[in-house]
Amino acid sequence: MRSVYIRPLNFLHGKDAQFHIQKKLAASVCGNKFLGFTKIEIVNKKNNKSILIDISQINKLKNKNKKQILKDLKYIQKKRSTIINLNNTKPVLMGVLNATPDSFSDGGKFNKLKPAIQHAKLMLEQGAQIIDIGGESTRPGAELISEQEECKRVIQIVKKISQIKKCIVSIDTRKSSVMEAAVKAGAKIINDVSALDFDSNSISLVAKLRKPIILNHSQGTPKTMQKNPNYQNVLIDIYDYFENKINQLEKRGFKRNNIILDPGIGFGKNVQHNLTLMSKISFFHSLGCPLMLGPSRKSFIGKIMGSKDTISRLGGTISSVIIGANQGVQFFRVHDIKEIQEALTINAELQAI
């Protein structure tokens, strides 16, 4: 079990990052020469204390954990492999398609074939590269449904949408039988909100299918997850959880470069947990996997805004996405593709100056 963790910070962007990386005054994030960092935070798990050091001073570091720190630093800088021809040097948008009657945001809108296809096409036109199709609501308090009912809701939709040109379908499910049926119907990515914990057959199935997997951290089940969620240290606890999951998959021959990590905003976290995870999401880069963030329309926005909360929570979603993008997050799972794409485009132009 590791005793130290490192987090890149003091980020540089665009030409500024390129210049400092070339001069070895900064290091790149995930091999992106236009995103660099000049400092790292070294966090000691035992006493929860941290120190900041410049990148240029790392080789001079006198620390019993130096070997681990250097290994983590290499993972942070390593270029992430392309997943299904997706260029992850730029943010990749995953459009949410809930084929459910009871999802918190759009339940009942797209649970029929025709409106589901129409909405998928619209999101693709607006800039989505992945369509994430789910048949079971995972909103706080949601009830479990049967595998048969879930398949009935999603498989035909997966089959039709996966036939759309240049469309990559992701199946959002906790159940191995639904995963398998959806992959046979054309799904290319598996997105499990339980990170393969819900169904004991899932990890062996995923290892066999060899499809990219999104491991979403959650504490508890949708029915119970928001009842007083608790962590000793939300960053370290989730990091250790992910590291264990990656090791389990690698032991079964599954490649790290096919794993996407999602810290699970709103899945067994209070407002402070969510804010900590988003503001310091670069903490997870040293695991060597692409990162995903899914803050879209989540309740933490409403709790912060109080009486000024809106149905779309668009401003809060955009703000959260930009914070993640500026730390090198590669994937974003969102509802409002057009507006998020516009925000990311403008952000990229500003950062390029």
pLDDT tens digits for 38-63? 999 999 998 889 999 999 899 888 87
pLDDT mean over 291-304: 97
Please state which of the four CATH numbers 3.30.470.160, 3.40.1190.10, 3.40.50.1370, 3.20.20.20 is assigned to the domain occupying 92-351.
Answer: 3.20.20.20
Among 47, 40, 41, CA closest to 3: 47
Supply the pLDDT for residue 353.
82
* Active-site annotation holds for 74: no
Cα 340-87-322 angle, rounded to 5 deg: 30
Domain with CATH 3.20.20.20 in the chain: 92-351
pLDDT mean over 282-298: 97
pLDDT mean over 275-294: 98
Band the pLDDT of 102: cuts 50, 70, 90: low
pLDDT mean over 243-271: 96
Q: Which residue has the higher pLDDT, 144 or 148?
A: 148
Supply the pLDDT for residue 87.
86
Full-model pTM: 0.95
Supply the pLDDT for residue 59.
85
Question: Rounded to whole angstroms, how far apart are CA atoms 8 and 286?
Answer: 9
Q: Which residue has the tokens 């703000």?
A: 319
pLDDT mean over 278-292: 98
pLDDT mean over 262-290: 97
The answer to which of 50-54, 227-231, 244-248, 275-279 has the lowest mean pLDDT is 227-231
Supply the pLDDT for residue 340.
98
The answer to which of 45-59, 115-129, 234-248 has the lowest mean pLDDT is 45-59
Residues linked to residue 94 through DSSP beta bridges, in sequence order: 130, 333
* Residue 142 pLDDT greater than 60, yes or no: yes
pLDDT mean over 308-321: 97
Please give the backbone phi and psi of residue 159, each rounded to the nearest 5 degrees, phi first. -60, -45
Reduced to 3 states (helix: H, G, I; strand: E, B; else coil), residue 296 is coil
Supply the pLDDT for residue 206.
98
* Active-site annotation holds for 49: no
Q: Is the dihedral of CA 28, 34, 263, 255 positive or negative?
A: negative
The answer to which of 30-44, 80-94, 201-215, 279-293 has the lowest mean pLDDT is 80-94
Please provide the DSSP assignment of 91-160 as one string: -EEEEEEE--S--TTTTTTS-SHHHHHHHHHHHHHHT-SEEEEESS--STTPPP--HHHHHHHHHHHHHH
Q: Which residue in 7, 80, 174, 333 is the catalytic one?
A: 333
Supply the pLDDT for residue 223.
73
Tell me the pLDDT of the chain averaged across its residues: 94
Band the pLDDT of 108: cuts 50, 70, 90: low
In the chain, % of residues over pLDDT 70: 97
Supply the pLDDT for residue 63.
79
Q: Which residue in 175, 245, 298, 313 is the catalytic one?
A: 298
Gyration radius of the chain's alpha carbons: 20
Q: Which residue has the higher pLDDT, 221 or 164?
A: 164
* Residue 211 pLDDT greater than 90, yes or no: yes
Q: Which residue has the tokens 């900590």?
A: 276
